[in-house]
């Protein structure tokens, strides 16, 4: 938060996606349902449980960004406490338990997540709670927490088969695990089917780049990419992510994994296998960028397990190191503390970028454009939250109807715009270079350019008035804008 104040000069969030959660949550708190544009329900969150938690906070304290930060910090603290208990259960060493708890608090990914307004800390808490309940043989609690963890971060689904196989299989045990998980997920799946036409939210349908889910949704790719190049790339990126959290983890985790494999119980060996399955599962099932993308927001739920396995490795150091273990623990935490400095700089600049571009544009729209204006955006978070205008999401995260058009590239997006007829278009011209030059359709009104861009999708974002604008000089009728525009190759 110090870097946030020093660099950005004001509180904010490091991603525009954070504001998407806030927008959904505010609508829920105000009784408008799970919708982005009131009256149009849509499954637009891959972490609906976090959105619901934010909505509860907004209902009690008001729809203010600080509520998300307080909730994130409290949940992160809870994650550290549960991690301490899990480490103690596996090592029997109270000192290592405390060290594991502090190791979580010193993780760059979870420190970022605590203040980001994203679901990162909630997913980490629920995954860690699931593992603690599992090693304690509390099957019903394990099943409920696991189902909630998937609602907080869908990658947690990989734990389901691993936990199922971690003890003797039987129909009764399978029912006790899979039944509660299925019951918890069923409403979210049904809502996605009803509003998106797919069993996954629009956010997943729009972002997935290949793999099994991409195949089911129509995103084709060469099999060499699916089975060869991407898994290797994701695995290497996963190792880089672990190194970036705390460098000593890469040396301690193999010791812990080997000991668990040779001497540990089946109940923990199988769930610990998620540390290998995670990058491969991301690559093969529903790939979108990599494990370290955006500070590892799709991987940070496993940071507590990484820390606990490292603690197991410390607990099993040879007797020669027994007297030196305290020094090794101290070194581990000191090195972990140093990793927070570059992460804090990245966080501060990310908040500055979002505040200077998307938040600034949201305020500009709020005071400049008509209240009834309909906006087409490629970033629908802060602009929609602050301006409270009706929006069309060109990326499809909250406008699933456009996903099929996006598969045709900019020509398809233009076809959709000619049918939807927004009043204003706000985009990165670098993302839509062929749309940006259609001066007979889109006239630039205002632009924002970042001098030091670290997180925004492009350096410049531009507001265009469209030919259909109801506040233009001669607005074209919706669906009619002179000759039909074409976009060449």
Sign of CA dihedral 384, 389, 394, 400: positive
- Contact by Cβ (8 Å): 359, 366: no
d(CA 425, CA 473): 17
How many beta carbons lie within 10 A of that of residue 471, not counting itself?
12
pLDDT digits (tens, 9 = 90+) for 388-412: 999 999 999 999 999 999 989 999 9
Please give the mean pLDDT across all residues of the chain. Answer: 91
For position 129, what pLDDT does the model report? 98
**pLDDT band for position 489 (cuts 50, 70, 90):** very low
d(CA 295, CA 118): 12
pLDDT digits (tens, 9 = 90+) for 190-227: 999 999 998 999 988 888 878 777 777 777 778 788 88
Tokens found for residue 52:
């619901």
Mean pLDDT of 85-95: 92
Tokens found for residue 101:
């708890």
N-terminal to C-terminal alpha carbon distance within the chain: 46
Q: What are phi and psi of 55, to 5 degrees?
A: -60, -40
For position 278, what pLDDT does the model report? 95
Residue 443: which residues within 8 A CB-CB, separation 6 or more? 464, 465, 466
Which of residues 111 and 210 earns the better pLDDT score? 111
For position 206, what pLDDT does the model report? 83
pLDDT digits (tens, 9 = 90+) for 313-340: 888 776 545 667 777 778 888 888 888 8
pLDDT digits (tens, 9 = 90+) for 39-53: 999 999 999 999 999
Element (H, E) at 299: none
Mean pLDDT of 361-369: 97
For position 224, what pLDDT does the model report? 84
Q: Express the helix, strand and coil content of the chain in percent, nearest 5 each.
A: 65, 5, 30
pLDDT digits (tens, 9 = 90+) for 259-302: 888 877 788 999 999 999 999 999 888 888 889 999 999 999 99
Q: Is the pLDDT of residue 482 over 50?
A: no
Tokens found for residue 142:
């394990």
- Return the closest-CA partner of residue 425 out of 479, 463, 453, 460: 463
Mean pLDDT of 103-108: 94
Residue 248: which residues within 8 A CB-CB, separation 6 or more? 310, 331, 332, 335, 336
pLDDT digits (tens, 9 = 90+) for 416-470: 999 999 999 999 999 999 999 998 899 999 999 999 999 999 999 999 999 999 9
- Contact by Cβ (8 Å): 202, 196: yes
Q: Assign residue 17 a region (left: φ > 0; alpha: ψ between -120 and 50; beta: otherwise).
A: alpha
For position 319, what pLDDT does the model report? 56
d(CA 203, CA 395): 9
Tokens found for residue 104:
């979580």
């Amino acid at each position: 938060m110090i870097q946030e104040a020093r660099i950005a000069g004001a509180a904010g969030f490091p991603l525009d996606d954070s504001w998407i959660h806030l927008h959904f949550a505010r609508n829920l708190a105000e009784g408008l349902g799970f919708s982005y544009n009131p009256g149009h329900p849509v499954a637009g969150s891959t972490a609906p449980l976090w959105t619901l938690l934010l909505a509860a906070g907004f209902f009690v304290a008001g729809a203010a960004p600080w509520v998300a930060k307080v909730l994130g910090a409290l949940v992160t603290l809870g994650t550290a406490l549960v991690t301490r208990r899990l480490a103690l259960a596996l090592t029997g060493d109270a000192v290592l338990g405390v060290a594991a708890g502090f190791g979580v608090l010193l993780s760059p990914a979870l420190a970022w997540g605590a203040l980001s307004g994203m679901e990162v800390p909630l997913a980490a808490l629920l995954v860690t709670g699931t593992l603690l309940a599992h090693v304690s043989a509390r099957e019903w609690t394990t099943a409920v927490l696991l189902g909630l963890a998937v609602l907080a971060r869908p990658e947690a689904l990989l734990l389901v088969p691993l936990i199922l196989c971690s003890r003797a299989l039987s129909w009764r045990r399978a029912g006790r695990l899979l039944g509660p998980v299925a019951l918890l997920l069923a409403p979210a799946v049904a809502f996605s089917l009803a509003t998106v036409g797919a069993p996954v939210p629009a956010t997943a349908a729009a972002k997935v780049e290949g793999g099994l889910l991409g195949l089911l949704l129509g995103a084709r790719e060469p099999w060499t990419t699916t089975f060869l190049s991407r898994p290797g790339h994701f695995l290497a990126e996963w190792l880089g992510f672990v190194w970036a959290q705390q460098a000593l983890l890469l040396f301690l985790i193999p010791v812990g994994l080997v000991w668990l494999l040779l001497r540990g119980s089946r109940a923990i060996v199988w769930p610990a296998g998620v540390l290998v399955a995670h990058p491969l599962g991301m690559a093969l099932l529903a790939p979108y960028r990599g494990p370290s993308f955006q500070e590892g927001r799709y991987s940070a739920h496993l940071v507590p397990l990484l820390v606990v396995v490292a603690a197991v490795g410390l607990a099993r150091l040879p007797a020669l190191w027994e007297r030196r273990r305290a020094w090794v623990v101290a070194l581990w935490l000191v090195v972990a503390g140093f990793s927070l400095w570059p992460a804090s700089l990245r966080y501060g600049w990310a908040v500055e970028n979002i505040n200077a571009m998307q938040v600034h544009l949201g305020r500009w729209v709020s005071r400049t454009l008509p209240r009834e204006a309909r906006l087409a955006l490629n970033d629908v978070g802060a602009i929609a939250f602050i301006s409270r205008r009706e929006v069309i999401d060109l990326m499809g995260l909250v406008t699933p109807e456009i996903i099929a058009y996006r598969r045709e590239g900019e020509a398809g997006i233009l076809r959709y715009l000619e049918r939807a007829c927004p009043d204003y278009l706000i985009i990165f011209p670098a993302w839509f270079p062929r749309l940006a030059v259609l001066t007979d359709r889109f006239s630039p009104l205002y632009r924002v350019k970042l001098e030091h861009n670290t997180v925004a999708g492009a350096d410049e974002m531009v507001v265009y008035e469209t030919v259909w604008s109801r506040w233009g000089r001669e607005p074209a009728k919706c669906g009619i804008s002179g000759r039909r525009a074409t976009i060449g190759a």
